[in-house]
Structure 1
């Protein structure tokens, strides 16, 4: 059965992906400084990974946590989650900007107790933007600016400068004009009391804060966490859903092809695996998905007037909404994937319909003369012909038309034998007449 095949494929893929998933704990001696990298795009997968890293730091209790930052920004929501984790840490956090701490990266750095800059590094330009690259609405800008200001002031930094990284309308005499965003070089960050100093190496940073000649350990993301970061990226989610839905639709419409079903199942397995590792999805989302697929398979063989099919689609959509970090974005991505699935279904039926499962349920025999069938005689030539009622029509009876006897029926009126009639309607062998006026 196709449903069992889909379940088996997903189970195999989950088992394969779990092989390289390693525990975070190590048996090495506790380090004095725990080093965590924040690089590439800031997104929800990274936020979840960093939260696990900080939990691991709480377990091994180093003297300090060093964040090596090199990012051009990303999700505001993810940055807020990372900022919360940094603020709640009981271990001192040092942010070392190795190259760039732009946008969300600037907010993350501002939440650390200490900020150190590498030569040539920059920090700032944190104006929030929507997923399509447009400037966020004024309400969001004001909220983000207040968060930046609060993060800076909580660690004794210039809150006005931090807000100026976000709000283009803010004017800071001698530093920022209206319409500009603040982006500071390493030296400017030190001059504006945002950073503590400029250091060439990580060792110089640690020595400055009193951690010279100390043991360090780096947090390494497992393969599963890296995969989760990729899968939970806002641009990857709709792609996986499109591949998954289209693959399953083709598999349901043309059973036995296998490859589309395997690809679709793999896409959904990656989707749910990544979101479960990231901490967004639970087993209930996977159960809803499998329930939805089961309902769609049943719809192929049971006449439910589309009820089971609609229920299946709703169940799959709900599973996606439950799994994704943002329900609204998850549902939107699922609806987009349905559009592509509709196009795929149309192409499949148009060009490969002769292989479809529904052909087993459709009567293909034709009642033609070539097949030995004799069609019923047509009386259309009698339309509007006149005749005489041979027997009373109550309303059925016999009439003579063109000197031939025919079984006829009146429109409902009683017609006596011998009265003149006219044919007003012919439907197959059914001849309808009325009294001639």
Structure 2
């Protein structure tokens, strides 16, 4: 640390114009902010985040070259502000179209459900249309198994008792995300 302070002090006195280090420090800080903002919306595999970190480090070095107190203040502010900036960035990123595509899949389909509740409601509605339909038990229902109704394999719950594989069944009701069937006949 002392070596860094001595080098910074020597560079500052040798340069003659100390203000250029402050200006360069602020320019590198602005560049780091631009890289950080770009990292939120451009998938770069961390390259822009690395450039942001290098720019911040260069900014601190420039402030240390100007004056060690400026360097300490800048390093302290960056260390305290980095977690807040990351949390803020993640909150902004989470509602961006890029994040929706990465987390939930392609958001270009307007018919796609936008929330888990909407998806569950759509599934219940689809199952509700099967009430009264006939099908075949694919597996034994003891009391839960799989039935084939209208060409679809669906989890089912036997209304009463056990139903053997291959038996004809009829859908009597929908409970949550599962249909309840009774042996036909």
TM-score of the pair, normalised by structure 2: 0.39
Which is higher, the Rg of structure 1 or of structure 2?
Answer: 1
TM-score of the pair, normalised by structure 1: 0.20
